[in-house]
Chain A
Amino acid sequence: IIMSTPEGAGSGMKALEEMLDKKAAAGDGGEEKAESEAGGDAGGDKGEAGAEKAGKPKLTKAERREIQEKQRAAKAAAKGEAPPAPAAKKAAADQPASGGSEKAKEKGEDKAKDSKGSAGLKLQYDDPKAMAKAKRNQTVHRTEVQKKVPWFAHLPQYEREASLSSQLSERAENDIHPEVLKLGLKLADWLIVGGNNRTVAMLQAFSKVVMDYAPPKDHETGADMSRHLDTRLKPMISYLVACRPLSIGMGNAIRWLKGKIAHLPPNQSIQEAKDYICDQIEAYITEKVVFADRIISKHGASKINTGDVILVYARSSSVEATILRAHRDGTKFRVIVVDSRPKLEGKKLLDKLSAAGVSCTYIMINALSYVMKEVSKVLLGASALLSNGHVISRVGTAAVAMMAKQFNIPVLICCETYKFSEKVMLDSICTNELGDPDELLSPALENWRDVKDMKLLNLCYDLTPAESITLVITELGHLPPTSVPVVIREYRKEVTL
């Protein structure tokens, strides 16, 4: 697992880190303050809730609760979910807080169900009302691009934030753990790249959050923690989403973590519960990422024979591991690394492989048809595998896979099972991530913002149709791409519990 923490990451970042460390030292006091504000939402929402209340006719506590229960039951009935546990309501009743904050907390729970059911994007970015509402809750405010590309109006399109750190240093609320703040900044700057790296970094940050969790008075049992921790994590998750949209694997990991927190073994003390959760996170990372990669590289290396010419694209940690493993095993083969602008991630993979002694060729994606004739296998990584067998991966993978299939070359995808998703998608436009458009710049396009009719589009992911894929290599073995829903079903208990 490669975690790159850059040295001298800029004075802004350093200053922020110092400030955050100071805050971490202040530590427990800060956590308590956040808890006393009650309501998992950011402080802004609470103020807003108060203002709303002032405008409406004043109802008694009981009437308000009645209305809320009706609303929640209606929503639950509409969604077909089981009505929320009465324990949650009792917790709300127990809180020694004003009615307004109680309402805010319950609203917060509803919102949690609404917008972040799977920690994914259910927020409609092309709906101005929903956006205005979400903005009030946001921990950081991202500036939208001046020129939105119309085909992607339903997705967030943000400018690269130069002032993200200063926004954070100006925040008064303390509801985001410094580790998570740092992680968000690194993610926003693409300093931590790659599905596995991001997921592991996020889980490790949350592990620290759990360790530093300080319960409010009178709520010092493990059972209480499972309720509060969820609301504690919510703003942190939305902050990470604002920094950079989560990958599907990260979403799955968060859902797993929330499941684990919600189902803590009974009768544990706070410390025991904390240790339990951290151990579980550790086990998840080891099992689902580290060991999975090892097994995948073993399976993958077994597919590489003497004299093979393997084509790889951009940079995938599991593909890298597979090739290095095969090289260590002594197989004589060579690799063609395909790369593309603007990220040029293939160069880094090339450096690693050629340093290890693998014989490499390097081309840009445009030269693909020139080399395709000599390729014997194509090895690609994935960001996620969908239920209909399609693969979400770095943009350009679809073109590589399609071309290989036309030349009748087998396409092998290396993917860990935690990246399997129940979603289905038909093209790369439904869900995608739009990166910073300025990465495409060249001297000719320097003034593109001033030119009225010009837009830049920097797609991060694309969808490879299942027909282009021959085989998926996972830690469970070799599978056809259509087996994804089977795996999800068989291992569903493991994933959500």
Chain B
Amino acid sequence: MQAVSENNGSFKSSENPAYAQVEALVVKLKRRQLSTKDVAIETATALRKVISGTKGNNPKKLLEEVRAVGRKLAQASPAELTVGNIVRRVLFIIREEHGNAQQGSSDKVGDGREDGGSSRSTHAPSLGSVLEGDLTLSQNWTEEVPTNFKQLVSAEIVELVNEIEAIKEQVADQAMEHVHSNEVILTCGFSKTTLHFLKEVASRGRRFEVVVAEHAPGLAGHDMAKELAKAGISTTVIPDAAVFAIMARVNKVIVGCYAVMANGGITGLTGLHMVAMAAKHHNVPFVVCTGMYKLSPVFPHDQYSFNELKSPAEVSGGGQDAISRAVRVLNPSSDYVPPELVGLFITNAGGHNPSYIYRLLAEYYSLEDRVL
């Protein structure tokens, strides 16, 4: 549900030359043209431009700029949680750099200041500080910051982009531990992270089998199967309906996702909930390969929270066979899988249980940014 935007008009490019890029990104998001990873990288790049283009050196102003741009981007594609994640990451970076700068300057001045608020640790509040210290660590925004503050933030964002680019390799590094010999792996649709994961195992010479559920109506599974077969992995393509039937022979389910929820659940391709339930029924582990940039500080309660309905034309067909207009045709874009059904997350930050995910939120996002 799109709330009425306060910023109905576009940003004036005279205020910040980066706004043209932001507008272009907004259009791409509205048209749902980008994959999750591309969304992340383009958002980070656009925000970096925004920061460089902002006049002055005031971190608070930077925060507000980023937040305003971020809100606009998030509204362009509300179901795409990655946008909000990256915005929050950038805000966290700004706060962190500001904290570092404060610490640096306070060290320079000499005798440690008792103002615990400003000497905030460079990392998010630890359990100790949360229990004993001040929860709302207020920073002193009026303090002077070094002149290269924006460059520092920019450099951090570049690191963030590099981290996102490197996720495939980092996840694949753990692949050999999880796929053993002669295993049968089930996967659904097309996920680049999972593809890389499986190709890594095959390249090291281990023999295993993959069953790919084709994922109607887009049939992304067919492309996945083609890629897997090219890599020399023995692949079988099955229709989605056969997932429960074939689950009796499957050893593991490995899939990718669109976003990881704060409670350890995931949003992913439609049909993943069905696959996860079938896996639970047959006691087959359900493994999700993802990058930490997909971790979102939101809690869903049902299938509709972060879902949208795509065009029914994909399902209802066309021409003679088309379904009459009197019939309601539903074509949701994603599925929510609750944390009880997810067995393991394999991420660039290692392997995690769904119950641990909430703790990782503190690593990447700050409390104040939960709501953009």
Contacts and interface: CB of A to CB of B under 8 A. Distances in A.
29 contacts: A149-B236, A340-B216, A341-B239, A350-B327, A361-B329, A361-B330, A362-B316, A363-B329, A363-B330, A366-B269, A366-B335, A369-B274, A369-B336, A370-B270, A395-B241, A395-B245, A396-B242, A396-B244, A399-B243, A402-B277, A403-B273, A427-B245, A440-B239, A451-B230, A453-B228, A454-B226, A457-B236, A457-B238, A459-B246
Interface in B236-271: 236-246, 248-249, 269-271
Interface stretch (B37-45, B217-225, B345-353): B217-225
B240 A367 contact: no
Interface string B305-335: 0010000000111000101101111111001
B214 interface: yes
Nearest to B314: A364
B241 A429 contact: no
A366 B271 contact: yes
B233 interface: yes
A398 B245 contact: yes
Contacts of A457: 211, 236-238, 242, 246
A402 B328 contact: no
B189 to A, nearest CB: 9
Contacts of A361: 327-330
Contacts of A454: 225-226, 229, 235-237
A347 B226 contact: no
A287 to B, nearest CB: 33
Interface string B280-311: 01000000000000000000001110010000
Interface string B70-112: 0000000000000000000000000000000000000000000
A456 B238 CA distance: 6
Interface in A379-425: 394-396, 398-399, 402-403, 406
A341 B328 contact: no
B226 A399 contact: no
Interface in A25-81: none
A352 interface: no
Interface residues of B, number: 57
A221 interface: no
A395 B321 contact: no
A303 to B, nearest CB: 24
B133 interface: no
B26 to A, nearest CB: 27
Could you say which of B219, B245, B304 has the most chain A C-beta atoms within 10 Å of its C-beta? Answer: B245
B278 interface: yes
B239 A453 contact: no
Interface string A354-366: 1000001111111
Interface string B138-153: 0000000000000000
Contact of B244 (A399, A406, A453, A458): A399
B215 interface: yes
Nearest to A452: B229
Nearest to A342: B239
B237 A341 contact: no
Nearest to A468: B281
Interface of B: 211, 214-217, 219, 222-223, 225-226, 228-230, 232-246, 248-249, 269-271, 273-274, 277-278, 281, 302-304, 307, 315-317, 321, 323-324, 326-332, 335-336
B241 A399 contact: yes
A398 B242 CA distance: 9
Contacts of B232: 453
A340 B239 contact: yes
Nearest to A459: B242
B327 A402 contact: no
A384 to B, nearest CB: 15
A11 interface: no
A453 B228 CA distance: 9
A3 interface: no
A369 B273 contact: yes
Ranked 10 nearest A-B pairs via Cβ: A396-B241, A366-B271, A428-B245, A462-B245, A340-B241, A369-B273, A366-B270, A444-B222, A454-B229, A427-B248
B236 A455 contact: yes
Contacts, number: 172
Contacts of B329: 361-363
Contacts of B315: 362-364
A4 interface: no
A459 B245 contact: yes
Given A429-B246, A455-B235, A462-B241, 6 more contacts: A342-B239, A363-B331, A364-B331, A370-B330, A399-B241, A428-B246
Nearest to B226: A444
Contact of A399 (B216, B270, B274): B274
Could you say which of A354, A363, A461 has the most chain B C-beta atoms within 10 Å of its C-beta? Answer: A363
A462 B245 CA distance: 6
Nearest to A337: B327
Could you say which of B223, B235, B242, B270 has the most chain A C-beta atoms within 10 Å of its C-beta? Answer: B242
B225 A365 contact: no
Contact of A463 (B245, B277, B327): B245
A368 to B, nearest CB: 6
Contacts of A451: 226, 229-230
B362 to A, nearest CB: 30
Nearest to B331: A367
B321 A347 contact: yes
Given A362-B328, A399-B241, A462-B242, A151 B249 contact: yes
A497 interface: no
Nearest to A357: B326
A263 interface: no
A456 B237 contact: yes
A463 B331 CA distance: 27
Contacts of B241: 340-341, 365, 394-396, 399, 462
Contacts of A395: 239, 241-242, 245
A483 to B, nearest CB: 24
Contact of B327 (A360, A369, A444): A360
B337 to A, nearest CB: 9
A134 interface: no
A366 B249 contact: no
B128 to A, nearest CB: 41
Contacts of A428: 244-246, 248
Interface string A317-342: 00000000000000000000000111
A89 interface: no
B225 to A, nearest CB: 6
Given A340-B239, A459-B242, A462-B244, A368 B327 contact: no
A444 B243 CA distance: 21
B144 to A, nearest CB: 53
Nearest to B213: A366
Nearest to A462: B245
A370 B332 CA distance: 7
A445 interface: yes
Nearest to B235: A454
Contacts of B303: 369-370, 373
B267 to A, nearest CB: 12
Contacts of A458: 239
A306 interface: no
A365 B277 CA distance: 14
B219 A444 contact: yes
A489 to B, nearest CB: 29
Nearest to B232: A453
Nearest to A313: B241
Contact of B270 (A149, A367, A452, A456): A367
